[in-house]
Chains A and B, each alone.
Chain A
Amino acid sequence: MNYRAVRAIYIFEMSRFFRTITQSFVSPVLSTSLYFVVFGTAIGSRIDTVEGVSYGAFIVPGLIMLSVMTQATANASFGIYFPKFLGTIYELLSAPISFFEIVLGYVGAAATKALFIGVVILLTSFFFVDMQIAHPLAMLAFLIMTCVSFSLLGFIIGIWAKSFEQLQLVPLLVITPLVFLGGSFYSVSMLPPVWQTITLFNPVLYLISGFRWSFFGAADVPVGISLLAIALFTGGCLAVIGWMFKSGYRIKS
């Protein structure tokens, strides 16, 4: 195992993040604050409570998930696409490192950035709503698992993408709708029965539900199923990455 290489990639990627720390920090805080003003205060004042939780607090896990999933995907896809675009990937391919180590470095950095933003949003939300976290350790575990699994997804997108347009296509067309329709801002029980069934096919629902359980001790689907969903999703991403590297898909001729 070439730990130094993993460390070098991780530090190199994180330094890009810290170079733009203001944007990295300000934008999630601002967008979260806007969500709280619009959903929490304006709409929430007419909703009261959802499953015994004030609406403002209810949307916190969904908001964090929305940002974390988008950020993890975007960071990881950009992280590996950029060297491909610039041609600097030659160095990764000619270095004494395995594909596993490359993934570890890039996905590790992307997940760290997403985790950082998730925590910032969580802290921001304490300014707007009064809430307590029922299972803090489980909350952190869910958060980290989501950061890692979506960074893996982002890595796949970054390898697959042939242009900057394609790089943004998947997050825009797939992830954002799935997150919005996955119960970020509402409980599934609030939907008509047909939509409740359809929603069950949305993998993001299980992630948000599990994460919400760690906050309030109640969820749309049992926690065990949420964990299983994350495990399956992570496993699936790993399998795809494994195949990509084995076949040299779009990186090696």
Chain B
Amino acid sequence: MSAIVSVANLDKTYEGGFQALKSVSLEIEQGEILALLGPNGAGKTTLISTICGMVTPSGGSVQVGGHDIIDDFRQARRLIGLVPQEINLEPFEKVINTVRFSRGLFGKPRDDAKIEQILRALSLWDKKDAAIKELSGGMKRRVLIAKALSHEPRVLFLDEPTAGVDVELRRDMWEVVRGLQKDGVTIILTTHYIEEAEAIADRIGVISKGNILLVEEKDALMARMGQKELQIELQQPLSALPDALSGYALELAGDGRSLTYRYDTSAERTGITTLLGDLAAQGVMLKDVSTRQSSLEDIFVGLVEEKA
């Protein structure tokens, strides 16, 4: 795989002196879904806006498909589609006209078949002649996606695509994104929903206060930093932990009816076998056993706090 977007030492300081990006470097691989995760005000939108041309960088460089975004902005921008965070649409315009307009703006010849295909894929074909103000919020967001896809971009930026969107629509949106990836489109999305990054991303970048803290394969990240919990339900409640078990990182909960044991999956010895053996030796009868992987959210909160 090769990088389709490479960001090198990108700086952005706004007029008021606020430094939104601090020497950000990032390589985005062709065909991947990269989720940029970070709290509000972390610099996610500034990063995307700079790559797409709405914000002038203060320093550093960005290349898209090998084209510099400033010196060779036409070639670079032709490759990019952008779905902004806010629903920015002309309320009185017809859906199909605004999508056609976007295609023209990117210098592509009119292609009604292509537009129809895009609108159908986003379940907007029935509404093609409706004025945008008549659409629901979820449909408006899909119109924004249709506009971004109208010129067949190779790289799609989605800035908080599911902010303020209900659960069902969020899942629909993920389906759309996965479908695009199948067609070979590289996708970069920003989000502050951990669940979203966990559900669809191949790689996750964590950004906070204008710095990229890390970029890693999602699975590797979760495995590396992932802690697991073993939840043990007991037949008879315990009033206190037997002394023989005090060497384990055990926690008694639920009125003494359950035990929680934390362990690291990547460690050489998890200690589960000996724990269960010792429990049996103490005559503790087990009712049920379950495990839980710590979520990306736990990892994320840990990271941001650690580096803050």
Chain A residues close to B by CB (< 8 Å) = 2, 4-5, 7-9, 11-12, 15-16, 19, 82-83, 86-88, 90-97, 248, 252-253
Chain A residue nearest to B84 in the complex (CB): A90
Q: List 16 A-B contacts (CB under 8 A).
A: A11-B101, A86-B89, A87-B84, A87-B88, A88-B88, A92-B105, A94-B52, A94-B53, A94-B54, A94-B82, A95-B106, A96-B73, A96-B74, A252-B54, A252-B56, A253-B54
Assembly CA distance A92 to B73 (angstroms): 13
Q: How far apart are A105's CB and chain B's nearest CB, in angstroms?
A: 9
Q: Please tell me if B301 contacts chain A, counting CB pairs below 8 Å.
A: no
Q: Please tell me if B86 contacts chain A, counting CB pairs below 8 Å.
A: yes
Q: Please tell me if B265 contacts chain A, counting CB pairs below 8 Å.
A: no
Q: Please tell me if B14 contacts chain A, counting CB pairs below 8 Å.
A: yes
Known A15-B97, A95-B106, A96-B107; 12 more pairs at CB < 8 Å: A4-B104, A5-B106, A8-B101, A8-B105, A83-B90, A91-B147, A93-B52, A94-B54, A95-B105, A96-B78, A97-B105, A97-B107
Count of chain A to chain B residue pairs whose CB atoms are closer than 8 Å in the complex? 81
Task: Report, as a range, how many residues of chain B touch the other chain.
Answer: 35 or more
Assembly CA distance A218 to B52 (angstroms): 55
Judge whether B90 and A86 touch: CB under 8 Å. Answer: yes
Judge whether A5 and B54 touch: CB under 8 Å. Answer: no
Judge whether A12 and B73 touch: CB under 8 Å. Answer: no
Taking CB atoms, residues of chain B closer than 8 Å to A5 are 104-107
Interface string of B166-180 (1 = CB under 8 A from A): 000000000000000
Chain B residues close to A by CB (< 8 Å) = 14-15, 52-56, 73-78, 80, 82, 84, 86, 88-93, 97, 100-109, 147
Judge whether A93 and B101 touch: CB under 8 Å. Answer: no
Q: Which 9 A-B pairs have the closest CB atoms?
A: A8-B104, A87-B88, A96-B74, A96-B77, A94-B52, A95-B105, A93-B54, A2-B107, A94-B53
Indicate which residue in B54, B86, B106 contacts A96 across the interface (CB closer than 8 Å): B106
Q: How far apart are B215's CB and chain A's nearest CB, in angstroms?
A: 24
Judge whether B109 and A4 touch: CB under 8 Å. Answer: yes
Taking CB atoms, residues of chain B closer than 8 Å to A82 are 90
Assembly CA distance A2 to B82 (angstroms): 19
Which one of B56, B90, B104 has the highest number of Cβ atoms from chain A below 10 Å of its Cβ? B104
Judge whether A91 and B105 touch: CB under 8 Å. Answer: yes
